């Protein structure tokens, strides 16, 4: 089975460092933040940074960016909505300059306004952003972990949002930790087959363009977004052995670790765990 592995890489020292780090670990894919993920403010990308990144990132099979955390695409608060659209437009512009195809976005929270309103807002926000920046960049909506007021924890909601946006530049990033925390039991055979059926029914497997491969520090259906190293959480080694049977979902699809590491070299342990599971399955 052809698989593509990568990880979220730090950009400390410059954007191009992320690519160098991924190459050092012999990964074929990686993910970055193009700016501080915890703020609204950001510096312009400098010509030199773009050039260095484009040079350093040659040859990878998949690169993606992750939107900062403050924008909330599902908010009906006018000010947050405006800032979120601006932020998404800016991320599309940055991705275009850096020649990065996929932008991962947390769908957001309706903040008590109700899921229907939340979905309408997400559709409006994403449409507006995509219309503003003509490019081949795709916006990948990431499934949420089932937190209170979250929009996009259920596949049926994500499916409705995708149909509402109706643009081929929209897809899904499936996070294994979030799915598990939202109640999709990918760790058991019966749970996985039900999950795949629902994914196909409401969204379509071909719309899943990226996978965030994370174990979960919280239990099935806990509604809590806490990532864990592969094999060390509630999904566990056995659970991933089961998940990797979903060949139709994972084959040739970039799988990105966002596991809690102190240093990016530690991703190699997650990589070894994954490879040893896959080897045992042969």
Phi-psi region of 221 (alpha: psi -120 to 50; beta: other; left: phi over 0): left
User: Minimum distance between the CB of residue 137 and Zn ion, rounded to whole angstroms?
Assistant: 18
Q: Should residue 49 be labelled a site residue for Zn ion when binding is judged by CB under 5 A?
A: no
Task: Candidates 87-95, 114-122, 167-175, 198-206: pick the segment binding Zn ion (CB under 5 A).
Answer: 167-175
* Closer of 90 and 225 to Zn ion (Cβ): 225
Pairing of strands 227-228, 215-216: antiparallel
User: Which CA distances in Å does 67 have to 73, 241, 276?
Assistant: 11, 30, 32
Residues 215 to 274 in contact with Zn ion, rule: CB under 5 A: 258
Number of residues that bind Zn ion (CB under 5 A): 3
Buried/exposed code over 155-181 (b: 16+ C-beta within 10 A; e: otherwise): bebbbbbbebbeeebbbbbbbbbbbbb
Residue nearest to Zn ion (CB): 212
Q: Which residues contact 178 (CB under 8 A, 6 or more apart)?
A: 142, 143, 144, 145, 146, 153, 212, 225
User: What letter would DSSP give residue 100?
Assistant: -
* Closer of 121 and 178 to Zn ion (Cβ): 178
Which amino acids are annotated catalytic?
Answer: 38, 66, 69, 106, 142, 175, 178, 212, 225, 227, 258
Q: Should residue 175 be labelled a site residue for Zn ion when binding is judged by CB under 5 A?
A: yes
Q: With beta carbons less than 8 A apart as the criterion, state whether 71 and 87 touch.
A: yes
Q: Which residues contact 146 (CB under 8 A, 6 or more apart)?
A: 153, 178, 181, 182, 183, 221, 222, 223
Task: Candidates 54-62, 86-94, 207-215, 240-248: pick the segment binding Zn ion (CB under 5 A).
Answer: 207-215
Binding mask 124-163 for Zn ion (x = CB under 5 A): ----------------------------------------
* Closer of 95 and 177 to Zn ion (Cβ): 177
Phi-psi region of 14 (alpha: psi -120 to 50; beta: other; left: phi over 0): left
Task: Candidates 46-54, 80-88, 151-159, 212-220: pick the segment binding Zn ion (CB under 5 A).
Answer: 212-220
* Closer of 28 and 258 to Zn ion (Cβ): 258
Which tokens in the block code for residue 250?
């994972």
CA 105/CA 57 separation, integer angstroms: 22
User: Minimum distance between the CB of residue 272 and Zn ion, rounded to whole angstroms?
Assistant: 21
In this chain, which of 21, 119, 154, 212 binds Zn ion, going by CB under 5 A? 212
* Closer of 92 and 177 to Zn ion (Cβ): 177
Q: Should residue 8 be labelled a site residue for Zn ion when binding is judged by CB under 5 A?
A: no
Which positions touch Zn ion (CB under 5 A)? 175, 212, 258
């Amino acid at each position: 089975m052809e698989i593509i592995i990568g990880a979220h890489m730090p950009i400390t020292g410059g954007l191009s460092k992320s690519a160098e780090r991924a190459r050092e670990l012999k990964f074929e894919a990686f993910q970055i933040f193009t700016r501080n993920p915890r703020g609204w403010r950001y510096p312009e990308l400098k010509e030199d940074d773009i050039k260095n990144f484009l040079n350093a990132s040659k040859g990878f099979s998949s690169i993606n960016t992750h939107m900062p955390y403050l924008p909330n695409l599902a908010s009906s608060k006018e000010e947050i909505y405006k800032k979120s659209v601006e932020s998404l437009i800016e991320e599309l512009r940055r991705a275009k300059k850096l020649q990065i195809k996929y932008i991962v976005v947390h769908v957001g929270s309706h903040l008590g306004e109700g899921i229907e309103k939340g979905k309408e807002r997400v559709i409006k926000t994403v449409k507006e952003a995509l219309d503003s920046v003509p490019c081949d960049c795709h916006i990948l909506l990431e499934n949420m972990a089932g937190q209170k007021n979250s929009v996009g924890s259920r596949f049926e909601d994500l499916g409705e949002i995708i149909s509402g946006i109706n643009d081929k530049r929209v897809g899904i990033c499936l996070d294994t930790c979030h799915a598990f925390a939202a109640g999709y039991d990918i760790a058991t055979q019966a749970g996985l087959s039900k999950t795949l059926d629902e994914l196909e029914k409401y969204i379509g497997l071909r719309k899943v363009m990226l996978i965030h491969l994370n174990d979960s520090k919280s239990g099935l259906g806990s509604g809590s977004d806490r990532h864990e190293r592969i094999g060390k959480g509630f999904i566990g080694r056995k659970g991933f052995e089961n998940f990797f049977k979903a060949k139709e979902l994972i084959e040739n699809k970039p799988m990105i670790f966002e596991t809690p590491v102190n240093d990016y070299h530690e991703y190699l342990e997650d990589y070894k765990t994954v490879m040893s599971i896959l080897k045992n399955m042969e």
